[in-house]
Every structure is written in structure tokens, then in C-alpha cells.
Amino acid sequence: MALDNLKHLIPDYAKDQRRNLDALIKSSVLTQQQLWGCLLVSAATSRNDVVLKQVHAEAREHLSENAVDVALACTTAMTLNNYGFRTKHWLGHDFESLRFGLRNGVFLKPGVTQADYELWAVAVSIVNGCEQCTQAHSRDVQEQGLSTLQVWEAVKIASVIQAIAQTIHIETALKTENLPE
């Protein structure tokens, strides 16, 4: 299993993240598609090659090819929105009424249930730190019939994957040779 490879890369100082990942995978709060989609979008958003490759390999065992493609499309589409809307918020009132005006057609026909897509959008928005998108997609998820507990599970997945990505980044940086200290 690819996630076993990933867990072996996590040092003892971050062993709680191994346990957290195991607990999330065993959770019955989400469907398999929701769970593995959240794991995949969180890994893709983490910008950590090792984490993405390992999670992607395992997610492909649990998701259809279409769901994998939609999850990756969700990652890129939401990243575009997260950066745009977060910046509009920072820039203030003068920018609130401006349209973004960039193509993002994956929202029109996602290829998975709307609830699953919106849940994945929450996970991406958490990792990218966009408050407005996190709130908006959380409301959309609940309007689609999912519970606050299911939204919270996506938050936990995004958080754990980001913590693992940070750990792998730390370990990689500390093992890099020939750099001045």
C-alpha cells in the first residue's frame, strides 16, 4: 500500500500524524469516494510531491478514473478561486463587485455527485486558507444533505495531510546535503 510507504517516511516526532491518518482512513463518517477524494485533493493542494504521489497511487485503488480526474480538476479549479477570492477579500470593498471572469467549467458538470465535489472543494479551500470559499462550500455541502460532522471530517483530512506534507518537507530539507548552514 502506498500509504504504508508514506507512513514509513514520517519520523517519530510526528508519529501522531501516522495515527491520525490511520484513524481517518478507518472512519465511517464519509463514503469511500468522499474519503479518498478528500485525501487526494488535500495531497494535491499540499504541493508536496512525495505526499501527492503516494496518496494518488492509493486513491486510484478506491476511486474510479473519472473521480480521480474530477478530484484533480477540483484542486486546480478551487486553487484558482481560493487565490482570487482571498485576494478580493484582502483588497477590500472596491473589489467585491468585480467578476473574476476566468474559465472554471469543472463547476458546471463535475462528474461526481455535487455533494462529493463540494466536500472536496472544502478540503482544498482549507489547505489554501480561503475563509470565504471554505464557508461557501461548507454551506453548499450541507444544502446537498451532508452533515456538519462530514464537513468536519474533510477539515480533519485536509489538516492531517497538510501536517504530513510539512513533516516530509522538513525531513527532506534536513537531509539535503551540500548546503551552507
- Catalytic residue from among 21, 51, 70, 133: 133
pLDDT in tens, 48-100: 999 999 999 999 999 999 999 999 999 999 998 888 888 877 888 887 787 77
pLDDT at 83: 86
Q: Please confirm, yes or no, whether 74 is among the known catalytic residues.
A: no
Q: Which of 32, 5, 6 is nearest to 160 (CA)?
A: 6
Q: What is the mean pLDDT of residues 128-137?
A: 91
pLDDT in tens, 121-132: 999 999 999 988
Q: Please confirm, yes or no, whether 133 is among the known catalytic residues.
A: yes
Q: Which of 26, 88, 14, 77 is nearest to 51 (CA)?
A: 14
End-to-end CA distance of the chain: 36
pLDDT of 18 higher than 90? yes
C-alpha cell at 122: 472544502
Q: Is 153 exposed, middle or buried (0-12, 13-18, 19+ CB in 10 A)?
A: buried
Q: Where are the domains of the chain?
A: 2-6+16-175
The superfamily CATH assigns to domain 2-6+16-175 is AhpD-like (1.20.1290.10)
- Which three-class secondary structure state does DSSP give residue 58? helix
Q: Could you tell me which residues come within 8 angstroms of residue 33 by beta carbon, excluding any fewer than 6 positions away?
A: 62, 63, 67, 112, 116
- Catalytic residue from among 40, 130, 154, 161: 130
CA 66 to CA 60: how far, in whole Å? 10
User: In this structure, what are the phi and psi dihedrals at residue 96, rounded to the nearest 5 degrees?
Assistant: -60, -35
Cα dihedral 35/40/42/48 (nearest 10): 150
Q: Which of 152, 167, 164 is nearest to 34 (CA)?
A: 152
